[in-house]
Amino acid sequence: MTAPVLEAVDVVRTFGATRALDGVSVRVEAGRSVGVVGESGSGKSTLLRQLLALDSPTAGEVRYRGEPLARRDRGLLRRLRADVQPVFQDPRSSLDPRMRVGAVVAEPLRSLRVPGDHRERVTEVLAAVGLDPDVATRYPAQFSGGQRQRIAIARALAPRPSVLIADEPVSALDVSVRGQVVELLQRLATEQGLTLVLVSHDIAIVGRLCERTVVLHHGRVVEEGPTASVLADPQEAYTRRLLAAVPQLPGV
Amino acid sequence: MTALLSVEDLTVTTSTGRRILDGVSWSLDAGGRLGVVGESGSGKSMTALAVLGLLPEGMRASGRVLLDGEDLLTLPPRRLARVRGAQVAMVFQEPLTALDPLMPVGRQITGPLRLHRGLRGAAARDEAARLARLVHLDDTERILGSYPWQLSGGQRQRVALAMALACEPRVLLADEPTTALDVTVQAEVLDLLDDLVDRTGVALVLVTHDLPVVARVARDLVVMRDGRVVEHTPVAAALAGGRAAYTRELVGAARAVTGLPTTGGPR
């Protein structure tokens, strides 16, 4: 059996007296999709930073393709940086307003020193997210929220990662646009065989996108399993409370 | 029956002549529950600000905003200030912006009680405690003695609601009151809003981008887009398939995105 692409093993992260993560274990298998659901203070953002190797655990470890991430292992970290790409919540603040879209999308190619024709790759990934090649010459501010999120996804795809880690990728978007971005992520995951990790407070979005769901509460995994069974037959009181709280439109 | 609050042909223009709101009309009966929904840029928050006479510098409003037949748009600033808070109260998305960071919340609740209702000393403190219990701030003593930063987001929004209700207003205008809250806290605050409208008889205008939130609390619905009213209809009729194509589109998108899939998971 091959090792998971990413794996958190009994990860503890403390900030002073606060245990933001209190022994969290999560496996992310290649080509699958995992959603991490939690409210504020659940530790989901701390876990996200661990999986992106932007922070180190106080105890426990994070493994990338079976190898424990250690601060000193530059080679391993470099491979992870190219292979695991983040998509953040608000494309307004994650896209540099002074850079043209083409430069924004090519940025990971430059910083990771990816060989090959960057301009060609930019055109390719823009097409993959449904944008014309000529948007490359414009500035992020000239685009709507949904289009900016497409640009952010194109940038993440540029270095041909196998894993996308998305942090609330649609929470800042209007509802009519949200569905389109969810569909885009779904299509990209299927077509390109991407592994998807989605971190969100929104269990409905996780329900749409992810095969497995992990429910995080006060720094612990309270429930984990196939999304269908977590939604239909939640075992934990907290999961039931979370599901009951989601505002629903009555009737169908 | 005449409406308690009615907005008639409300148009808001920027200093450069651009129309932010274009002929907005709707009405709210006493004890009514109106949801105003729209996506970003639809003008829903601008409508709320115009009703309150709180438009940003340089913007001009025309049309009428009638509260009990009196046009708020033509009221002199000092009279309008007395209506605002006393008769039309408001709650915003982020209660931290409405609360004074340097003052215990108890004193912030007694402020309007002194100003608008002339309550002093023990009478004001007793009324503040009653309001705190009304919004289910249990552990009342401790909370009234706390500063805003010592409270959670949900507690802060309850304090903001207590302040808004302090003067027994006739209309409560709430602009995205639960958007910044966690989903379980949001559910509690929505239940509270629902309960407050029932118990105090205050008429509610709930401005939000979130249709399921409106469906949970409001009875009537105004759908806005690009500064205009697309449709004014009972919530139930909109959910059963609104007359306007845009309403149907919004309802469809909300069902697709915010609905919990019954089977769950893709592929």
Give the separation between CA B142 and CA B38, rounded to whole angstroms.
39
Adjacent-strand bridge partners of A213: A35, A225
Average pLDDT score over residue span A92-110: 88
Give the separation between CA B43 and CA B39, rounded to whole angstroms.
9
In the predicted model, is pLDDT for residue A1 greater than 80? no
SS (H, E, C) A170-224: CCCCCHHHHHHHHHHHHHHHHHCCCEEEEEECCHHHHHHHCCEEEEEECCEEEEE
Q: Element (H or E) spanning A11, and its range?
A: strand A6-15
Local structure of B49: helix, strand or coil: helix
Give the separation between CA A244 and CA B166, rounded to whole angstroms.
31
Q: Element (H or E) spanning B71, and its range?
A: strand B70-71
| Beta strand B220-225 pairing with B228-234 | antiparallel
Please, which pLDDT band fits residue B264 given cuts at 50, 70 and 90?
very low
Substitution target from B186, B191, B223, B260 for chain A, most A beta carbons within 10 A: B260
Please, which pLDDT band fits residue A20 given cuts at 50, 70 and 90?
very high
**pLDDT on residue B148:** 92
**pLDDT on residue B94:** 81
Establish if B189 touches chain A: CB-CB under 8 angstroms.
Answer: no
Please, which pLDDT band fits residue B147 given cuts at 50, 70 and 90?
very high
Of B39, B153, B264, the CB nearest to A175: B39
The length of chain A in residues reads 252
Torsion of CA B255, B260, B265, B267, to 10 degrees: -20
Give the separation between CA B134 and CA B164, rounded to whole angstroms.
12
Give the separation between CA A50 and CA A237, rounded to whole angstroms.
27
Torsion of CA A48, A52, A57, A63, to 10 degrees: 110
Residues 127-166 of A with CB under 8 A from B: 145
Adjacent-strand bridge partners of B13: B19, B60
Average pLDDT score over residue span B110-135: 90
Average pLDDT score over residue span B202-213: 94
Please, which pLDDT band fits residue A70 given cuts at 50, 70 and 90?
confident
Please, which pLDDT band fits residue B112 given cuts at 50, 70 and 90?
confident
CB pair distance less than 8 Å for B266 and A230: no
In Å, how far are A34, A57, A59, A65, A242 from A68, measured between CA atoms? 20, 11, 12, 8, 33
Torsion of CA A106, A109, A110, A116, to 10 degrees: -100
**pLDDT on residue A91:** 65
In Å, how far are A138, A232, B22, B73, B253 from A216, measured between CA atoms? 40, 18, 46, 50, 27
Residues of chain A with Cβ-Cβ distance to B255 below 8 Å are 249, 252
List the one residue out of B184, B128, B125 whose CA is nearest residue B153.
B184
| Beta strand A84-87 pairing with A212-217 | unpaired
Local structure of B103: helix, strand or coil: coil
Q: Percentage of chain A surpassing pLDDT 90? A: 75
Cβ atoms of B37 and B206 closer than 8 Å: no
Residues of chain A with Cβ-Cβ distance to B261 below 8 Å are 204, 207-208, 231
Cβ atoms of A242 and A215 closer than 8 Å: yes
Residues of chain A with Cβ-Cβ distance to B250 below 8 Å are 175-176
Average pLDDT, chain A: 92
CB pair distance less than 8 Å for B250 and A176: yes
Residues of chain B with Cβ-Cβ distance to A230 below 8 Å are 264
Of B153, B187, B264, the CB nearest to A231: B264
Residues of chain A with Cβ-Cβ distance to B212 below 8 Å are 246-249
Of B184, B212, B262, the CB nearest to A249: B212
**pLDDT on residue A92:** 66
Residues of chain A with Cβ-Cβ distance to B260 below 8 Å are 203-204, 207, 231, 243, 246, 248
Establish if A186 touches chain B: CB-CB under 8 angstroms.
Answer: yes
Structure confidence by residue, pLDDT tens digits, B7-31: 999 999 999 999 999 999 999 999 9
CB pair distance less than 8 Å for A209 and B266: yes
Q: Which two tokens stand for residue B126?
A: 């007793």
Structure confidence by residue, pLDDT tens digits, A228-241: 999 999 999 999 99
Q: Which domains does chain A have, with CATH numbers?
A: 6-245 (3.40.50.300)
| Beta strand A33-37 pairing with B203-208 | unpaired
Please, which pLDDT band fits residue A176 given cuts at 50, 70 and 90?
confident
Q: Among A86-90, A110-114, B146-150, B257-261, whose mean pLDDT is lowest? A: B257-261
Q: Element (H or E) spanning B61, and its range?
A: strand B60-67
Residues 221-250 of A with CB under 8 A from B: 226-232, 241-250
CA-based angle B23:B26:B28, to the nearest 5? 155
Of B39, B187, B259, the CB nearest to A249: B259
Q: Which domains does chain B have, with CATH numbers?
A: 5-87+169-258 (3.40.50.300), 103-168 (no CATH)
Of A40, A186, A248, the CB nearest to B260: A248
Alpha carbon B257 to its chain's center: 24
**pLDDT on residue B262:** 56
List Cβ neighbours of A68 (8 Å cut-off, separation of 6 or more). A61, A62
Q: Which two tokens stand for residue B97?
A: 């912006």
**pLDDT on residue B143:** 93
**pLDDT on residue A251:** 65
List Cβ neighbours of A145 (8 Å cut-off, separation of 6 or more). A91, A92, A172, A173, A174, A177, B40
B5-13, strands of its sheet edge to edge? B19-28, B5-13, B60-67, B70-71
In the predicted model, is pLDDT for residue B263 greater than 70? no
Cβ atoms of B240 and B53 closer than 8 Å: no
Q: Among B20-24, B116-120, B143-147, whose mean pLDDT is lowest? A: B116-120
Q: A35: how many CB neighbours lie within 10 A of its CB? A: 26
Substitution target from B44, B176, B179, B183 for chain A, most A beta carbons within 10 A: B183
Substitution target from B257, B262, B267 for chain A, most A beta carbons within 10 A: B257
CA–CA min distance A102, chain B (Å): 27
In the predicted model, is pLDDT for residue B267 greater than 60? no
Of B186, B258, B263, the CB nearest to A245: B186
List the one residue out of B2, B115, B117 whose CA is nearest residue B67.
B2
Q: Which residue of A has its CA nearest to B42?
A: A174
| Beta strand B88-91 pairing with B171-175 | parallel
In the predicted model, is pLDDT for residue B1 greater than 80? no
pTM of the model: 0.83
Establish if B151 touches chain A: CB-CB under 8 angstroms.
Answer: no
Residues of chain B with Cβ-Cβ distance to A227 below 8 Å are 264-265
